[in-house]
Structure formats: structure tokens, C-alpha cells
Amino acid sequence: MPEGKFCNKKPVETEEDLKALLGDTGGKKYYEEMKSLDVDTALLWKTIGNTLKSRTKTWLEICAHCGMCADSCFLYLINDRDPKQVPAYKIQSTLGEIVKRKGKVDNDFMHMVMETAWAKCTCCNRCGMYCPHGIDMGVMFGYLRGLCYQQGFVPWELKIGAGMHRVYRAQMDVTGEEFVETFKWMVEEYEEDYPGLEVSVDKEDADILYTVNAREVKHYPEDLAEAAILFHLAGENWTVPSSGWEQTSLAMFAGDWAACKMQVEGVYSAMERLKPKRMVGTECGHAHRATVIEGPYWAGRSNGKPPVESIHYVEWLAEALRKGKLKIDPAKRIKKKVTLQDSCNYIRNHGLKDITREIISYIVEPGYFVELSPNREHNYCCGGGGGFNGIGIFRPQRNKALITKRDQLINSGAELVIAPCHNCWDAIRDLEEEYKIGIKWSFLKPLVISMVEIPEHMKPKE
């Protein structure tokens, strides 16, 4: 069958195509066309030959089918321990099977693979911690998504998302001008409350280059203002780039490696252009993963690092609090039961669990912090990771997945959960909407602003 108008193996590369695909509300035609999408088995096998290397091969082969990964997977647990939700089964029945059949799979099979890769795995990497061999099925699913994307079997919203990065170098249709304009607008709005508040664009040799999530620009610009305010109060020499300002990567969720590369190269080129001492990202998990952890490999950087030392927002915040650049008024610390969402992408996958707890020690009145159970690197995915939050056709599965987090929150007895990650924040908001457990949730920035001491010379004069 010829490739569909909306569903095909070509990435979305122009604004026109993007708008057209967006116009297919809910991906109705897109999914209809997917039913007749051919699998290019030759391409599939060739790609596997080029990219499936020894680690993945070994992992697929040495799986002992011991089932220890089963209980580690929140989707297995929440789906009534369905054997088909055991991580080893999930990956063996998809990637394992494709390899066994040397790529000779059909449309139906690829539909099953798509559902498994995007609705039965959020790439949270928890299984990798429990497997005796250290086999990380989340990593393999990440790889598998790439194969699916190449074949055109990718959820509608993520095809669009990858297209957004290709066209705008951002996850939404936000241009560099809009980014700068919105940042400046926010600074104007808050100038009166914080005299001297400003944002400098493209300043060279600054101490901090700040990158964000395009959603903040579009829908939550207060977040930009809050970031500016905290940098301002901490006396930082900071700047934002007029291009390369987007840290997130829906392309990563989509498995569009070429777009992933393009996306991070934009950010790296901003780093090289402006030569900051460090890059600080906003409160987002996958953005950090994409740009700081995985990105260097996509961009072919042999030392596996971005051009400039890059840290997650929580690292900057902890440092600012530790060094006294930001001082907290003890009277205003959080005095209600509060817990912390350990986000997969920078806790389990980048070891920042103690950093976030250090921040907690400054901002929560002793005795009020309760841990989720399990926590730290053993915490469960929020339920919405890996793009799960945004995929319409897998909404029911995602809503079920939220129950895990819901129950963790209920069991903790907390009234407030701190979630320094856009995906986790969204997932918790959705679980509150769906299950109404009465939880409040927040990023770190607004909480810190509510209790930070403003240096005398920075107070507004009346």
C-alpha cells in the first residue's frame, strides 16, 4: 500500500506538514492510515544490523527469564500482575521477536510493538536495577521506539512532537523571538516587586546559561519569571540564549534520533557561542536526560559531555541555598506534611536523590517531610513518563498507571508533593483530577520564592 498522507515513514519537516498533521484531530485519519502501513522489513533488518550492537544483543540473549524484573515494574503491578506485563516478556516479545524473525514482521505485529513500546513502558529504567544481569529494558524500549519511528508506527502526538523539534527546535510552535519576548514580558510584570529584575539575552561569558521547557513559554510563563527572580535574588550573572533555549525533547520520546541530534545541537551551539561557565536547565526530568545525559551521544561528542558543564535546576538551587546565595526565612518554611517525587530521569538515572533532599532540609520545617514509599532510586514512575502523559489513544492505560503514584501519595499521608519535573507535575495534576485525593502539588520555584529572604537593597521602595 502506498504510504498515507499523514501516516508514513517520512518525518514531519515543514511547518505546513506539521499544521496538516495537527489538523487531523486526534489523529483519526493518521491511525486509519496506519492500519495499511507497510513494514519495510529490509530497512528494519538493515537498521538493526547497523545499530543493534553487542550490549543489546547480549541483553536479549542472556535474559534468564527469571521474572525478577516483574515486581520491579509498576505497570506489571498495577495491571494485576498480567504476565504479559513482565518487562522481560515485553521486550522479548517485541524487539526479541523482531530480531529472531530477522525483521520479517507485519503491520499487525508493529501495532502490537507500538502499543508495548509506548503504553507498556515509560522507560523509567527501574527494571534495570532489579535484573540480576542489569538488563535495562527501559533502555531497550528506547531503542525499539527508534525502530518503530523509522517505520512510521509512532503515536500521533509524538510524530507531531518530533516534527515540532525539527521545525521549531522546541516541543511546541514557539519561536526564539516568542521565547525572548515572553521572558521580557514576565520580567516587566514582576519588575515592580523586584526592582532591578532583568533578563539578558545572548550575553557572552555569563556564569549561567538558562534553558527552559517550551510549555513554560506558552502556558506557564510565570515559571520564567520565577526563575529570573531566583537568579536575581541569588545575585547570579545569568543569561538566556535567543536560540537553543529549549531543553526538552519530545523527539526522544518519539524515537526520532535524527531530530534528537538536531535538537541538542541547537543547545550545544548556543553553549559554544555564548561560552557560559555552566548551563542550568529548568525543573524538568526528561529535558535533563535528553540534553545533558543522552544528548552528547546523539551529537557524537566523544567525551559524552555537553560543551559546557550542565546541571539540573535542583543542583543549582541546592548550591544556592548551601552557599547562602538564597536565604530562607525559617518562619516561612513548609509546615504541612510534604513529600517529594523522585523523578526517574534525574534521580534513578542521574543520582541526584541527595541533592533534592538537601533542598528539602532548607525549605521544610523539620518533622514535616515524609518520604514516599518506595523512594529515591526505587521510586516508581509518576505514571506519565516517556510521553505517556500526552498520548490520546493510550489515555486509559495511562490513567490506570497513575494509580500507582496515587496510592504512594495517599499512603504517605502528605498534603503537598514537591515535583520538580514537568512530566511528574502533569501526571500528579491529572491523577488529582481523575481520582480527587485532595493532594496539592508544586514545583520548587514558587515554594522557594514564597519563603526566600529578599536582601534589603532589592526590596521595592514605597
Partner 1 sequence: MFKKILFATSTTEASDHAARVAFNMAQSYDANICIFHVIGVPTRGFSQIVMDVKTKEKVEIDDEYIAWVKEEIMVYYSKQLEKAKSYDIKVAVGFPHREILREARNNSPDLIVMGGSTGDDEDSVYKKSMVGSTLQRVAKAAPCPLLVVNRPAASFWGGISKVVFGTDFSKASDAAFKFAVKLAKDLGCELNLFHALDISSLHMGRLLTQDEIESQIRESLRCIRGRYLDELKGIKDYSFDVWEGLPYIEIVKYAREKHADLIVMAHHTQKSSNEDARLGSNIEQVIVRAGCPVISINK
Q: Which residues bind partner 1 (CB under 8 A)?
A: 22-23, 25-26, 157, 161, 171-172, 185, 189, 192-193, 215, 218-222, 250, 384, 387, 389-392, 395, 422-423, 426, 429-430, 432-433, 436, 440-441, 446, 449-450, 460, 462
Name the residue nearer to partner 1 (CB basis): 52 or 250. 250
Smallest CA-to-CA distance from 296 within 278, 281, 279, 308 is with 308
Minimum Å distance from CB 246 to partner 1?
A: 12
User: What gap in Å lies between CA 280 and CA 308, rounded to an integer?
Assistant: 10
Minimum Å distance from CB 235 to partner 1?
A: 21
Name the residue nearer to partner 1 (CB basis): 128 or 176. 176
Minimum Å distance from CB 174 to partner 1?
A: 12
User: What gap in Å lies between CA 55 and CA 75, rounded to an integer?
Assistant: 25
Name the residue nearer to partner 1 (CB basis): 158 or 264. 158
Amino acid residing at 226: E
- Buried b / exposed e over 159-178, threshold 16 CB at 10 Å, is bbbbbbbbbbbbbbbbebeb
Q: What is the DSSP letter of 369?
A: B
Q: What is the DSSP letter of 37?
A: P
Helix (H) or strand (E) run with residue 221 in it:
none
List CB contacts of 194: < 8 A, sequence separation 6 or more: 229, 232, 233, 454, 458, 460
Minimum Å distance from CB 260 to partner 1?
A: 16
Minimum Å distance from CB 57 to partner 1?
A: 34
Distances (CA, A) of 385 to 34, 46, 286: 24, 30, 8
Residue with cell string 518487562 = 87
Helix (H) or strand (E) run with residue 440 in it:
strand 440-442
Minimum Å distance from CB 248 to partner 1?
A: 9
Name the residue nearer to partner 1 (CB basis): 18 or 370. 18
Minimum Å distance from CB 438 to partner 1?
A: 9
Smallest CA-to-CA distance from 70 within 80, 56, 83 is with 83
Minimum Å distance from CB 195 to partner 1?
A: 11
**Residue 93 phi, psi (nearest 5):** -80, -10
Name the residue nearer to partner 1 (CB basis): 63 or 259. 259
Name the residue nearer to partner 1 (CB basis): 436 or 457. 436
Name the residue nearer to partner 1 (CB basis): 215 or 353. 215
Smallest CA-to-CA distance from 32 within 6, 13, 55 is with 6
Distances (CA, A) of 180 to 198, 214, 338: 12, 12, 35
Name the residue nearer to partner 1 (CB basis): 306 or 420. 420
Name the residue nearer to partner 1 (CB basis): 144 or 254. 254
Residue with cell string 513559554 = 217
Minimum Å distance from CB 347 to partner 1?
A: 20
Minimum Å distance from CB 441 to partner 1?
A: 7
Name the residue nearer to partner 1 (CB basis): 274 or 364. 364
List CB contacts of 148: < 8 A, sequence separation 6 or more: 110, 113, 114, 117, 154, 255
